Amino acid sequence: MSNVLVLIEFSPRGEIAASARGLLAAAATLGSPVAVVVSATPLADDDVARLGELGAAGIYSAVTAAAGTVLLAPAVDALSGAVDAYEPAAVLAANSVDGREAAARLAVRVGGSVLADVVHVHNGNGTVVAQHSVFGGAYTVESVVEGGLPILTIRQGAIEGQAPTVQAELKTVSLGSNAEGVVLIDGFHDDPAGSARPELRSAATVVSGGRGLGSSANFVLVEQLADTLGAAVGASRAAVDAGYVAQTAQVGQTGVSVSPQLYIALGISGAIQHRAGMQTSKTIVAINKDEDAPIFDVADFGIVGDIFTVVPQLIEAVKARSN
């Protein structure tokens, strides 16, 4: 079976990033997954075990003092080393800030092409076929790479399931560090994330708030409904611009694309750019006091009403039923 490389990212706290599960699951449908990992010290046993649990048959562990102080260059060097070592059929990275920059540089360095923001992969007679959800899900497009290595960035949260657990075979290499023309990291600041809530991109339920909330104090209403439903919190760009909530919560054209079982839009008009990030949700609920708000065009259940009246009632009604 051919090898498929997977770039593994770490969370700011040093844990294997949540994207690893979906990436390894996608890789396992194409071949034998090999995790490519960059770290400053040799990979901890726990991480080796965890990657095997998530389906990594091999681990290419690149150790370099530059990890953590030099932005991304070590990851690209590690990937290109692993391409030489494993002659993979494809390389997968998260469609994250780091993942896509690494994928892009690798494509130029090794003569490949990037299939970007992939939501599904399959093996079509030996060819890696990538599926994309384009223009907010209005189109489903399939694409392949001809004449070079397919390098895929996988939309976070899009791949469900987990690859079968295996015993990972560890290969450790030490990476030289090139101090020329690199970007240096001077400091890191954790997002003040409501970490108790599910992650927006993979949550089964998302409750989003818009400009209709009126203030960051009022935005608590969105969080209260989210917590009642065990949901992630999202927002419109207007709510982000107004400072009600962090930019990472933005759903839409230039924010996160979500496709949960249930999406609830509170005080969001439903501009086409917002719909582009949520209209593939399985069930959509909207509460808005403007009867003509375009969000109702995509809503399975719409309430024309005031969120400050309806949402507290809804929280009570849901609590009453779940008792």
Partner 1 sequence: MKIVVLVKHVPDTAEERKLDLATGQLDREATGGVVDEINERALEAALRIKDSNKGTEVVAMTMGPEGAAQALRKALSMGADSGVHIVDDSLSGADTGRTAATLAAALRSTGFDVVLAGNESTDGRAGVIPAMLAEHLQLPLLGSLISAEIADGAVSGVRQGEGGTLDIHTGLPAVLTVTERFPEARFPNFKGILTAKRKPVTTLSASRLGVQAPVSRTVVISTVERPPRPAGRKLIDDGTAANELAEFLVANRLV
Ligand X SMILES: Cc1cc2nc3c(=O)[nH]c(=O)nc-3n(C[C@H](O)[C@H](O)[C@H](O)COP(=O)(O)OP(=O)(O)OC[C@H]3O[C@@H](n4cnc5c(N)ncnc54)[C@H](O)[C@@H]3O)c2cc1C
By CB under 6 A, residue 234 contacts ligand X: no
Please identify, using beta-carbon distances, which residue of 171 and 289 lies nearer to ligand X: 289
Which residue in 100, 132, 171, 289 binds ligand X (CB under 6 A)? 289
Residue with Cβ nearer partner 1 (50 or 201): 201
# chain residues binding ligand X, by CB under 6 A: 28
In whole angstroms, the minimum distance from the beta carbon of 129 to ligand X comes to 28
When CB distances are held under 5 to 8 angstroms depending on the partner's kind, the choice from partner 1, ligand X, none that residue 277 binds is ligand X
Give the nearest distance from C-beta 152 to ligand X in angstroms: 23
- Binding to ligand X in span 302-321, by CB under 6 A: 306-308
11: partner contacted, choices partner 1, ligand X, none (Cβ within 5-8 A by kind): partner 1
Taking each helix axis from N to C end, the angle separating 307-322 and 220-229, rounded to the nearest 10 degrees, works out to 20
293 is a site residue for ligand X (CB under 6 A): yes
Exposure string of 98-116, with b = 16+ CB inside 10 Å and e = fewer, is bbbbbbbbbbeebebbbbb
Nearer to ligand X, 94 or 251 (CB): 251
Q: How far is CA 167 from the centre of its chain?
A: 26
DSSP string, 34-91: EEEEEESSPPPHHHHHHHHHTT-SEEEEEE-TTTTTB-SHHHHHHHHHHHHHH--SEE
By C-beta, is 3 or 281 nearer to ligand X? 281
Q: Report how far apart, in Å, the C-alpha atoms of 71 and of each of 52, 94, 177, 297 are.
A: 27, 16, 12, 44
The site string for ligand X over 209-228 (x = CB under 6 A, - otherwise) reads: -xxx----------------
297 forms part of the interface with ligand X (CB under 6 A): no
Position 254 contacts ligand X (CB under 6 A): yes
Say which entry of ligand X, partner 1, none residue 322 contacts (CB below 5 to 8 A, set by partner kind).
partner 1
CB of 212 to partner 1, least distance (A): 14
- What's the token pair of residue 220? 């608590």
- Residue 162 and residue 157: Cα distance in Å, rounded? 12
β-strand 127-134 against 112-124: which pairing, if any? Answer: antiparallel
Query: Which range in 65-73, 113-121, 185-193, 270-278 contacts ligand X by CB under 6 A?
Result: 270-278
Can you tell me whether residue 271 is helix, strand or coil? coil
Residue 126 binding partner per list ligand X, partner 1, none, with a CB distance cut-off of 5 to 8 Å that depends on partner kind: none
Residue number, 45 or 187, with CB nearest to partner 1? 187
Check binding of 123 to ligand X (CB under 6 A).
Answer: no
Pairing of strands 205-209, 283-288: unpaired
191 binds, among ligand X, partner 1, none (CB under 5 to 8 A by kind): partner 1
Q: In Å, what is the CA distance from 86 to each residue of 32, 118, 151?
A: 10, 23, 14
Q: Find the radius of gyration of the CA atoms of the chain.
A: 21
Q: What residues form DSSP beta bridges with 286?
A: 265, 302
Binding status of residue 6 toward ligand X by CB under 6 A:
no
Q: Are 115 and 150 in contact (CB under 8 A)?
A: yes
Asked if 136 is part of the footprint of ligand X (rule: CB under 6 A), the reply reads no
Contact footprint for ligand X (CB under 6 A): 210-212, 236-239, 250-255, 267-269, 271, 273-274, 277, 287-290, 293, 306-308
